[in-house]
Each structure stands twice: as C-alpha cells, then as structure tokens.
Structure 1
Amino acid sequence: MDTNYLADLRALSQTLNFSRAAELRNITQPAFGRRIRSLEAWCGVPLVNRRQMPISLTTAGQIMLDAAEDVIGRLERARREIEQNQTATASLVIAATHALSFNFFPSWINSLGAEAATHPLRLLSDNMEHCEKLMLSGDAQFLLCHAHAASPTPMRSPEFQKCVLARDRLIPVCGRDSNNQPLYELPGTAERPTPHIAFEEGSGMARILTSVLFNRRTDLHLSSVVSSHHAMTLKSLAMEGKGLAWIPESLARNELKESGRLVVAGGESWHVEVDVALFRTSAQLGALAETFWQLAQDTAATGMSWHL
C-alpha cells in the first residue's frame, strides 16, 4: 500500500470535502478520488460515507484514520532519527522554559566545560506546554524545565529519561512595606482572599503548584488578579505590589536582599521543592546528542547536591 494514501485520508478527515482535500494534497480531484478508492479496496470496506453532505468517515474509516496518524507519526520520527544519526554535524536542540533559559542555562552550559562548547546548539525558549510539544514531535532532543514527581507531565518513563541537574524551590513573594514587612499574607481568608499573581493554567509551574500545594491546602484563600506563562512577569508584578506570586527562588534571590523590593510572604510550609531537570526520549539519539547526554549526566553526578 502507498503510504501517501494515509496522508490522503487524513486530509479528507480534516476537510470533509474531496475538492479541498485534493488541493491540500496538491493533486487533481479525480486522482485523489482514485487513491481513496484504492485505500478502500485495500481495506475491503468503505471508509467514506458519500451519501450525505458533508461527507463523513465510516466507523472503519475512523479506525483507519487512527492507524494512519500513528503510522505517519512513526515514519516522520524515524526519518528525523535517521537524519540525526547520519549527520555528524547535526545541531543539538534543547527546548527550555523561559525562566531557566535566562536564569540557569548560561551558567549550566558553561559548567559542562570546553567539550560542550564544541557542540553546535539551538536553544528554543518557550512556555512548558510548547516545549513539551517540541519534545513529543521530535523537534527537540532535550527539554530543560522545573519538575516535581507529583506534577502531571507527558515526560514519563519508560518513554522518557530524566537527569536532575540542580534543586530549586517555588516560594511565595510580594512587595514589602516601609517596615520591610510583606504587603500580603498567607493563607488569606474567605472574606479577604490574598491577591494572587498566578502562572497561566496548564503551564508547568501551575501544574506543580496545583498538584503539590493548592489542591492540598484547604486553608488557602487566593483571588487571581493576573496570570502569565512568564515567571519574570510574575516577579515584576509582585515587585510593583500587585499581589503575591510563587516564583523560583533562584529568580527572586537578588530582590530578596535587604536592598531589594521583594520579601518572602510565607513560611517553609508554603515552599515547594522542585528539580531542575533535563529530559530526553528513551529512544536512541544521534551520536552527538548521546555524547551530550552523557556529559550532562556526568556533570550532574558531581555537582547535583547544590541548590540554585
């Protein structure tokens, strides 16, 4: 069977129209129709219900579409892996969350020494959701992010491996008054909830905080005033006195000094320990990426005990 037929079926499922699907596939409509009929002949059953408008996939068609998506995905991943293995000068591609791209990555990559400096490297900085998509699609070989065992993530074993590079923690911070006391207090009350500058729902940090803290503290009363994917945005708004935010301690450290504009707004029970972790797929990577992974593991083994 020609695997192009699988892509044809996917295009038809997206458009539910033979003419538009043929345009997507850059072939004529008669040729497209013949290819769909050839696929139906191979399956032995109709895949498309042509008696109604718009057309729809039959039950068999939906089953075949699910299989087609899986096969197309596997073939694309295989092609990328082959290209990586055959290209000795292939770049390393690391997807990293915004906070770690600015605050951790430069010093960490420098700590790997001269050997890492010889590797051509692309850093793709984005929010956690997009970084995960880059990993799952195979467009990045590594993911650098904050992680917690209780937080939901698609980066689970056995499909993915994890190397803990450092430790950090998420702490509640806010602006300080003239007496260097917090402008806002935890846990707040039902009548006067604490203004909360929050990570965007679904972001990596929000997942961690929700799983480890928010879902477990019935005494916590927060009122969201603004949300963002960017830890730097949360930090800036907290400095301006807009509310309280949980951000990485490593990001807040300078502003927590006596001359700074932030103060910790809660005791240890409100702090969340997190890992700074590097993820990779468990599948074999190219030689360059495998060498880099081993270097990252060796370096972590000698210096992982420190906090950021």
Structure 2
Amino acid sequence: MDLKQLTALVTVAEVGSVTKAARLLHLVQPAVTRQIRLLEEEVGVALFNRTHQGMIPTAAGEALVLRARRALQELERARAEIRPDPRQVAGIVTVGVLDSVVDVVVPPLVTAVAQRYPEIHLRIMAAYSGHLQQWLDAGDVDLSLLYNLAETPSLAVVPLLREDLWVVAPTAAGLAPDRPVTWATLLEQPLVLPVAGHGLRALIDQARSSMPVEPRIAVEVDSMHLQKKLVLAGHGWTVLPAAGVAGDVAAGILSGAPLTEPELSRSVVLGLSRTMRTPPPVEAVAASLGRLIRTLVRSGAWPSARLSRPVGDDDG
C-alpha cells in the first residue's frame, strides 16, 4: 500500500469515475485502474462496485477511503509545515464553523489569516454543532466553533460569546431588532422548527416547557437554510441565532427581533483537541479567530452578542 494507491483510491471515490480521476491526477486511465486493482489485491476485498452510474465504494472501500483521506491530509499538512525558515508559520488548518455564523465569521477570518499568515492554507467545514464536535473528536478538523459545550476529556473549550436568539418572520409581520417579541406572541403563530434532537430545538423546547400553550408546529427541518426559506414562503415563524439572520433582516428579506419573556440565548465556544499537540499554524488561526470574535462583537457586526470574557489580544 503506497501513496499513489491511496491517492487513486480517494480520487476515484470522490469523482466516481476512473476516467475523471485519471484526468485530475494527470495519469492515463489504465494506470489508475492498476493502482486500484493492486490495492484491492493487497487488502483482499473489493473496494468498489463497478456500475453503469460509476465507481461506487463498497462498505470496505468507504472505511478505507475515510482513513486514506485522513492520512493524505496529514502528509500534506506535514509538507506544508516544513519550510527553510522555521520562523515562518505555515501549514494547512481545517476550521469548523457553525452553519448559523458562516456569513458573519468566514469572510473576515479568511481575510485576516491571509493578511497575517500568508503561508497558512485554510480549509473551512460548516455544519451543525453536533457534527462539528464529532469531526473535532475524529481529527477531521483542527479547531471548531461549537455551542453550549463544556470541556470534555478529549476537547479543550474556550468560551467566546453568548448570543440571543431571535424570532424570525416574513417582512409583512413587521418585526424589528429594537422591538423584542414575547414567547406569548411567538406561540400564537405556526412554527417552522429544527427537528427533534437538534441542539437549537432542545434550547427552544426547554425554554417553552413551562408555558401553558403548546406550539403549532407547521414543519420540522434539518437545515437553517430551509427554515428561512419556509418562513419566507409564509409557512410560519421560526427561532434562529441573530448572526444567522441579521443579513436577511438588514436586506429586507425577512423580519426579526430578539425573543423575550423569557430571553433565550446560547453560548458559542472554541473547541480544540486535547489529544495531540497543537501545531503553530492551528494556534495562529485560533488566535486570529479570537481577535476576530472580539472585533465582531464590539463593532455590532455580530448582533445581540456579548463576550464571555476577553478573547485573544489586539497584538498577539
């Protein structure tokens, strides 16, 4: 088993075709086919089902692709970190970002890292907090924004901020950021909510559990994008983090307001693995993210948020 075989395996699995993989790898098709065949002979099982729809990994193939991809990423990271000048911070850093804060965080983070650490290559992976935590535990991301998480045996957690959740409605509802909406008003409306088991849904259910009115749930979804689309289409109101809807509210696409009586908020934290030494590029990106969070909150670019404690510093 060598790097050429692992590279061919991962590439074929990603594009679903030996022909496409050969083009991407700048090889002839028989060479890629041979690498896959040699790998299958070595492990003693079929790694792909050859179908009219393309090359589909078998269960064994999927398991090997997962580990091969991780191994190739680590080797790529090691190559990027080896530089003639050891003072130069360089390498590949994979950052997990909550779906609900992508618009607020990702563009300025990419800009800040490019300006301060031009030799760092960022990879951004966006998902819900539960998925991000799994990826962080598995080593698929180097650091990640998470919410409502305390430290665990495998993760070190740095509190960043606490942000209020907003009621989100069509523009015709006339909600405004300076006029909070009560739970009583919210529960008069049909609701578009995350599916049960989702972290945000758990917050919502816990907050309304003491109220006598049962919610009228119009639809449950597993996507913030779908929540907003369904609200826009008039299927009901919803509850989302302020950072996830502030741009839509400012653009007049949706209307939104802080939720009150009682207020509902979540904490956003930075998670890092305890199980391995933190490489200098990861430390650099973590520090940049901390500085960025401070700036976003203090400038009001992250609405309805307040710092949990001082994060980073202005010069570090």
What's the TM-score once normalised by structure 1's chain length?
Answer: 0.58
Q: CA deviation at 1:292?
A: 2.3
User: For the residues of structure 2 that align with 1:303 and 1:176, how far apart are their CA atoms?
Assistant: 26
Q: Judge conservation of contact 1:94–1:122 (CA < 8 Å) in 2.
A: yes
Unaligned runs of 5+ in 2: 1-39, 46-69, 82-89, 303-316
Letter in structure 1 aligned against 2:107: P
Change (3 A) 1:165 1:115: farther
Change (3 A) 1:108 1:295: closer
User: For the residues of structure 2 that align with 1:166 and 1:200, how far apart are their CA atoms?
Assistant: 25
- Confirm or deny that 1:208 pairs with 2:190: no
Find 2:184's aligned residue among 184, 187, 197: 187
- Confirm or deny that 1:274 pairs with 2:271: no
User: For the residues of structure 2 that align with 1:24 and 1:196, how far apart are their CA atoms?
Assistant: 55
Query: How many residue pairs end up in the alignment?
Result: 226
Report SS of the residue matched to 1:91: strand
Letter in structure 2 aligned against 1:205: L
Change (3 A) 1:24 1:290: farther
User: For the residues of structure 2 that align with 1:170 and 1:295, how far apart are their CA atoms?
Assistant: 26
RMSD: 4.1
User: For the residues of structure 1 that align with 2:126 and 2:41, how far apart are their CA atoms?
Assistant: 31
Aligned to 1:51: none
Q: CA deviation at 1:133?
A: 1.8
Q: Deviations over 1:264-303 (max 9, x none)?
A: 3x75225422333321112422232123223434555676
Letter in structure 1 aligned against 2:216: S
Aligned to 1:122: 123
Q: Deviations over 1:245-267 (max 9, x none)?
A: 00122232344459554243x75
Report SS of the residue matched to 1:201: coil
Report SS of the residue matched to 1:104: helix
Report SS of the residue matched to 2:120: coil
Q: Judge conservation of contact 1:85–1:285 (CA < 8 Å) in 2.
A: no
Report SS of the residue matched to 2:267: strand
Q: Judge conservation of contact 2:182–2:260 (CA < 8 Å) in 1.
A: no
Unaligned runs of 5+ in 1: 1-22, 29-76
Determine what percentage of the aligned residue pairs are the same residue.
13
User: For the residues of structure 2 that align with 1:177 and 1:80, how far apart are their CA atoms?
Assistant: 49
In terms of Rg, which structure is larger? 1
- Confirm or deny that 1:142 pairs with 2:143: yes
Change (3 A) 1:95 1:298: closer
Q: Judge conservation of contact 1:95–1:131 (CA < 8 Å) in 2.
A: yes
Q: CA deviation at 1:172?
A: 1.6
Aligned to 2:151: 156
Report SS of the residue matched to 1:274: strand
Aligned to 1:286: 279
Aligned 1:55-70 pairs, distance under 5 A? none
